[in-house]
Structure 1
């Protein structure tokens, strides 16, 4: 049975929620029901070779549904939300131009917002960035924070680590505007519907623990070793990924595999809590029970309701 809509101006569908909640499976099944194609919005699944540790959907699990923005980067490259915004919107436009339905799937909150919302990204200046980094190295963070408090007190109150403080000062130096003025409003760039997976938190905790152990059994340490040989440590984004950072310590002899697995479980559970906090703050999300046997049909019905022409 197909739930596909004939409405020409179809909303973008986004499947969101915490890691381990079943977003990838729902995305595929929705695509099959709605004549759709999936666009990845998980920042770590851009990376070629980072398969086990990111729970990347396999070719078999995709069930023939085209997936966009998977395996587009080497681990040495740094992910950019601004680049993703351009690439994602181009993919959505291409999918819709062919009469298909674009289904965005991922739990990277800022990336989802970049795809869906009116959101402007200021540029970068490597020279200015390096000057600020050198100042931080020689004088410490306090003078930079004091300067940020003068030009952008909102950001100064929100940002704690050196990297973000430096970025806020870089943006102010480039644009003359406070970094906080670039923060997104909850305004869709084009029609959109977000479907969130509502989880039982205790069940999710258990699932995430089991999932990490399955990753280890499937060869996570060997995957990290292979990626280390092609530059994983030099990648600012990839090297910090959950599981990968921990198992690099195993390769260095500073941690046992069991300890790395336990540290990964703790960090993954913390990450899932942050994701829930992020998505719960968005009142536009339609929440559905992650274990509802009618989940796909209910999600498809919600999409078709949102696609129906207004009278």
Structure 2
């Protein structure tokens, strides 16, 4: 059976750095669990592994798709299962910030076909949550009232399948691999400082120019790839001929990091906490080696 070392943590916490260290130390390949890094055309705003990283360690699901291709949690789960099926005794590192993607393979979600294009008119996020609470109060309790993306996803599942999301989750199959979870911890103030600095770095990487090239495609606004944090803000600055609101992107990213931290705390059973400030890398490496050698 395959073994997976799963690395989770908020954005800008250093997950990718740890994944590279462990991949080299343990001679493992990295599976990318990020909803956006798979797209070739977007780079500046999503903190992809560097070209040097990609040369040194084999990565899966990086630059494999065009922004016009379909990529979602169902596709991710299908591709992961295929990779495992074709390499039944191989071990990997899974690393990425899309916690729902990771949860889907840990719990082996039963992902029947749903209408992913279902829209809800001009309903506000609060109205959407109230609708979810009316249909499936158990599921509504699990989702922050401001998390529009997860609320819509739950409603699409309920309305497409005529089945409560909370009941559907209870029917998920068991995990098809063994795994341990490493959570990367960074003190909150330092994390926010890293987020703020990284946003500025992204702007300096010609993020605006990248989006200017992308909007030449008339289908730009319909691409799921451009739902990554900040892309719409850069787009709005371009079409309104104003400066990019850097502080707004920084705030959105900090809010996203908060949601990631909450998810990890409530959803994942973490085996190891990596804290660079506490210099516990050797402990993390030892536990990973012990796990792989079991």
Instruction: Give the TM interval when normalised to the shorter protein.
Output: 0.7 to 0.9
In structure 1, the partner of 2:92 is: 102
| C-alpha separation in 1, matches of 2:125 and 2:13 | 38
| C-alpha separation in 2, matches of 1:89 and 1:102 | 13
In structure 1, the partner of 2:259 is: 274
In structure 2, the partner of 1:250 is: 237
| C-alpha separation in 2, matches of 1:301 and 1:43 | 30
Is 1:264 the counterpart of 2:256? The answer is no
* TM-score, normalised with respect to structure 1: 0.80
* TM-score, normalised with respect to structure 2: 0.84
In structure 2, the partner of 1:228 is: 215
| C-alpha separation in 2, matches of 1:263 and 1:64 | 35
Q: What pairs up with 1:74-153 in 2 under 5 angstroms? A: 74-95=66-87, 97=89, 100-125=90-115, 133=119, 136-137=120-121, 151-153=135-137
| C-alpha separation in 2, matches of 1:143 and 1:103 | 39
- For structure 2, the 5+ residue unaligned runs are none
- Deviation readout 1:16-44 (Å, 9 max, x if unpaired): 10111111121122111111101100111
What is the number of residues matched between the two proteins? 290
Q: What pairs up with 1:265-304 in 2 under 5 angstroms? A: 265-281=250-266, 282-295=268-281, 297-304=282-289
| C-alpha separation in 2, matches of 1:199 and 1:280 | 14
With over 3 angstroms needed to count, the CA separation of the structure-2 counterparts of 1:221 and 1:145, relative to structure 1, is: closer
In structure 2, the partner of 1:306 is: 291
Q: Secondary structure at the match of 1:31?
A: helix
Bigger radius of gyration: 1
More off after superposition, 278-287 vs 214-223:
278-287
RMSD (Å), alpha carbons = 3.2
- Deviation readout 1:27-68 (Å, 9 max, x if unpaired): 122111111101100111111121111010112133521110
With over 3 angstroms needed to count, the CA separation of the structure-2 counterparts of 1:240 and 1:188, relative to structure 1, is: same
- For structure 1, the 5+ residue unaligned runs are 1-8
State the Cα distance separating 1:196 from its structure 2 match: 0.9
**Residue 22 of structure 1 is aligned with which of 1, 8, 14?**
14
**Conserved in 2, the CA contact under 8 Å of 1:31 and 1:101?**
no
**Residue 168 of structure 2 is aligned with which of 148, 173, 182?**
182
| C-alpha separation in 2, matches of 1:277 and 1:35 | 31
State the Cα distance separating 1:256 from its structure 2 match: 1.1
In structure 2, the partner of 1:54 is: 46
State the Cα distance separating 1:138 from its structure 2 match: 9.3
Is 1:65 the counterpart of 2:51? The answer is no
**Conserved in 2, the CA contact under 8 Å of 1:28 and 1:63?**
no
